[in-house]
Amino acid sequence: MRAILFGGGLSLLISLLGTRYAIRFFTRQGFGQPIRDDGPTSHHVKRGTPTMGGAVIIIATVVGYFAAKVITGSAPTASALLLLFLLVGIGAVGFLDDFLKVSRQHNLGLRSRAKMIGQTVVGLVFGVLALSPVLEDERGWRPASNHISFIRDHEGFALPMVLAILLIWLIVTGASNAVNLADGLDGLAAGCSILVFAAYTLVNIWQNSQSCALEAGPKCYEVRDPLDLAVVAAAITGACFGFLWWNASPAQIYMGDTGSLALGAAMAGFAIMTRTELLLVIIGGLFVAITVSVIIQVSVFKISRASGLFRSIFKVQPGHRVFRMTPLHHHFEMIGWEQVTIVIRFWIITGLAVATGIGIFYAEWVAGIG
């Protein structure tokens, strides 16, 4: 438990102080955020605000975690190192995307195919290692499993190794892109991420106290290294808190794809390693809703242009748009909501989603021992 407190506290301090210096450094280097021309016109005043602040979140997390291990005299575990690999690896893809944007002063960085290749390489390497028998502990537990899990692994159908790795890749790329889509207003992605990672800190602490390694009963959890995963979750939570101080409206720095892709991948990593892949859909419900809004908008727009039958059934014009603008938060901007109002209400929605997810997680355990 001391490692959790040290990890969270140190990463918060590093992020809080480090982001201040990152603002100065990126400003001097001219690493300002390009703004999409087809976005809300109110965002044009943000042009030039320093970006790539997500690098501070990643550095603060890594330093905070290893410093906590040194202070407490404990060794890093395979699960935690894999999670940090995923955070840093996907963050590096985002950093390259951000760097190309600021160096070209254009909102287009990496091509979508190149970005997907980068995410795929990191995601597949993570999946292969997480399922590898090389990383089994003395109980035969691996960092990940080849089951599709809601709250825990159940006996029954197990995916073939290839399909399990592909599922991990899908979760990693889906979650990282979902948080990336949500990073469009001051403090939105950072604030929502704090709540999600705080939830996974609690999940890992509970799984550690009820671990099957402790013979905790019939509803114990077969999760490798839950306590050390809690240290990483606390470190990311603290890093996001420190960053939010400077990212809150009016933002003095943005996390960029460096931060949003990395944070989304880390969420996926926690879901995979805690055997709560489907529970992430609830805990990260806001990110799901934002992603779905984009899918609906693009799908309806394309289908309405291509299909006369679709237009006649739904009485729409070619190129119909369901929302004023996507992602979802921009729709509310276009109908007149203030940005701060949107952010705070989305934080509230995320809080409700997290509370629901944690409630389901705990209720399943209570029902099992009742």
DSSP state of 367: H
- Rg of the Cα trace of the chain? 21
Judge whether 208 is annotated as a binding position: no
Peptide bond into 40 cis (omega under 30): no
Number of H helices, E strands in the chain: 13, 0
Name beta bridge partners: 50.
Answer: 32
Q: Coil, helix or strand for 267? A: helix
Q: Which of 267, 327, 262 is nearest to 297 (CA)?
A: 327
Judge whether 257 is annotated as a binding position: yes
196 in Cβ contact with 267 (< 8 Å) = yes
Name beta bridge partners: 221.
Answer: 211
Q: What whole-number distance in Å separates Cα of residue 234 and Cα of residue 65?
A: 9
DSSP state of 307: -
Q: Which of 355, 96, 135 is nearest to 225 (CA)?
A: 135
C-alpha torsion 128→90→227→204, nearest 10: -100
* Residues contributing to the annotated binding site: 180, 257
* Residues contributing to the annotated binding site for Mg(2+): 180, 257
